[in-house]
Structure 1
Amino acid sequence: MTLAYGIQLPVQSQSTLYAEAWEAAAGPADLVAVARAVEDAGFDYLAVCDHVGVPRRLAGAMSTVWYDPVATLAHLAAVTARVRLLSHVAVVGLRHPLLSAKQYATLDHLSGGRLVLGVGAGHVREEFEALGVDFARRGAVLDESIDALRAALGPEEFPEHHGTFHDFSGLGQRPRPAQPSVPVWVGGSSPAAVRRAALKGDGWLPQGDPRERLPAQIARIRALRSEHGAEGPFTVGAIAEPLYVGRAGWEVGRRTLTGTPEEIAESLRAYRAMGVDQIQVRFRSRSRAELIEQIGVFGAEVAPRLD
């Protein structure tokens, strides 16, 4: 089994949990340059995040820099040719499924079928309140939104869905997605999110699970899918520790994996042994140039050793 690798792009979201100092002054040109480097290095996907608005109480930690995922992925689709385009994750419960379907179907059509729709429940109460969505019922809203989006992103020009929160039929939407079936990956690591991924998703995007928790989570997903007769391909993801290929010569943080390409590959191969299909990587860097160099070295010297 080949271990695929993807990346959440810098610049487009700037939480203090992971943003590097140089990103604060970066902009569209930097985002495009990194996206092109990611494609050149053979990455399976690039990913962007989703927040409509960040309340003042959280702005100090989260920042308010969160590019819109559809606009950003569409922009990057135009400057790349192969790499897949992942929303990691879209809080689709904040929007009507027909609106989301129109946006993401168009994105898939324009990109030649490169969309992976990553979805999650969301966690910022004020966003839901401002947009008139019940925060307390966001899990149930997401469950139904996935069903509605499956219908609206399917092959039918006039999709139909009848549920508790959304009801539509007789409204045509073209263009249709280029893919016969847009893959839906479900984000989150709570018991509810893992169950949702297993039973409603085509893949799972964990959120913050350390390595030692992954085997149990993966086993639960497999058990749930078997118990409920879920069939078809399923992509198990993982978010790797921060990386720096080589010896940095500067403080990269104690959790960062550093070393030779083989040392890093050996560490990452452990994910494949757990049953992980794709890893999302992140590199420590002090500039766009250093990040692009790290991406290139990873693609050329680490990735071939992941098999």
Structure 2
Amino acid sequence: MRYGIQLPVQSQSTLYTEAWETDGTPADLVETARAADRAGFAYVACCDHVAIPRRLAPAMGTVWYDPVATLAHLAAVTTRTRLLSHVAVVGLRHPLETAKQYATLDHLSGGRLVLGVGAGHVREEFDALGADFERRGAVLDETVDALRAALGPEEFPEHHGKLYDFAGLGQRPRPAQPRVPLWVGGSSPAAVRRAALKGDGWLPQGDPRDRLPAQIARIRRLREEGGVEGPFTVGAIAEPLYVGRPGWEVGRRTLTGAPEEIAESLRAYRAMGVDQVQVRFRSRGRSELIDQITAFGAEVAPRLN
């Protein structure tokens, strides 16, 4: 079972942001990504929102770094870890624009992109950009198909759909990977179905442990019934973690303790059929976060498998 991390600072929802992140800097992002790279993390991830309406700002904040710019910046200071958009709201943009941005990122990073996509949930964001909020699920379905073509090996990709129609338009550079992994985010019935039938992986959004087995079983059933074959990565988002015994209040839901205790808890995800788990650490500053990342990579990760 692999492990990855959503980066600090780059998104600042009140649901998960630590107090120190409000004054976070690009240097905090760089050093965190470097620490994750050294510690063997499978990926570092960045979210996607263009603009947050005033009604949602108290909960979501307005700090949302652009994922392409952020991941490209971090590609230059890391060597191994993959670069995940978790998730790109690709229905806000034309597929050729999205393909140009992410193909360039994959090319520049030497083939380390994982393109996570989702339908989005902020109506005002769609309205401001002239995108269809009511039909965002259907838009995402076709956008995934169009991106498959546009991120494939052909210099002149071709797609003919109800919403998008293109051919004879060349785009270089091409992705470094023969097939860019495309993971679908979301936990609604439609999102799970989309992940099973169109994706190379699934990124659940907030599913507690007791819901995951049924969701994973449904994905497997849908893929079998649809005749879909090939590798598929099942993801999970773990509870907040703190390696060791914290000397401060980390919240009752946080998993704490010795490395073996934490690893034993996380191995339950593997037993469900999870292939990669996204972890998040409680911290009071960058140095403590990096210490947690380092301890996890050295002491917890070897016990996961």
TM > 0.5 fold call: yes
Q: Distance in 2 between matches of 1:300 and 1:134?
A: 46
Q: TM-score, normalised to structure 1's length?
A: 0.99
Name 1:252's counterpart in structure 2: 250
2:299 counterpart residue number:
301
> 1:81: Cα distance to partner?
0.8
What corresponds to 2:284 in structure 1?
Answer: 286
1:243 counterpart residue number: 241
Q: After superposition, what is the alpha-carbon deviation per residue over 1:39-89, rounded to whole angstroms, capped at 9, x for unaligned?
A: 001100000000000000000110000000000000000001110000000
For residues 88-116 of structure 1, the C-alpha deviation after alignment (integer angstroms, 9 at most, x for no partner) is: 00000000000000000000000000000
Structure 1 CA distance, aligned partners of 2:59 and 2:167? 42
Structure 2 gap segments, 5+ residues each: none
Determine the C-alpha separation between the residues in 2 that align with 1:132 and 1:201: 26
In structure 2, the partner of 1:157 is: 155
Q: Equivalent residue for 2:266?
A: 268
Q: CA deviation at 1:165?
A: 1.1
> Aligned partners of 1:165 and 1:126: how far apart in 2?
21
Query: SS at the partner of 2:114?
Result: strand
> Shift of residue 134 of structure 1?
1.1
Per the TM alignment, residue 197 of structure 1 is displaced from its structure 2 partner at its CA by 0.1
How far apart, CA to CA, are the structure 2 residues paired with 1:28 and 1:228? 44
Name the residue aligned to 1:114.
112
1:18 corresponds to: 16
Q: Helix, strand or coil for the counterpart of 2:55? A: helix
1:52-63 counterparts in 2 under 5 A?
A: 52-63=50-61
| Aligned structure 1 segments of 4 or more residues deviating by more than 4 angstroms | none
- Partner residue of 1:143? 141
How far does residue 127 in structure 1 lie from its aligned partner after superposition?
0.4
- Following superposition, the deviation at residue 223 of structure 1 comes to 0.1
**Equivalences, count:** 305
**3-state SS, counterpart of residue 157 of structure 2:** coil
Q: Map of 1:190-209 to 2, 5 A cutoff?
A: 190-209=188-207
What fraction of aligned residue pairs are identical, expressed as a percent?
84
Query: Residue 134 of structure 2: SS of its match in structure 1?
Result: helix
AA aligned to 2:107 is H
Query: How far apart in 2 are the matches of 1:130 and 1:160?
Result: 29
CA shift, 1:249, in A, is 1.2
TM-score, normalised with respect to structure 2 = 1.00
* Distance in 1, Cα, partners of 2:131 & 2:290: 40
For residues 42 and 198 of structure 1, the distance between their equivalents in structure 2, rounded to whole angstroms, comes to 27
* Pair 1:217-2:215 in alignment: yes
**How far off its partner does 1:121 sit?**
0.2
Task: Tell me the equivalent position of 1:232.
Answer: 230
Q: CA deviation at 1:164?
A: 1.1
- Cα-Cα RMSD: 0.4
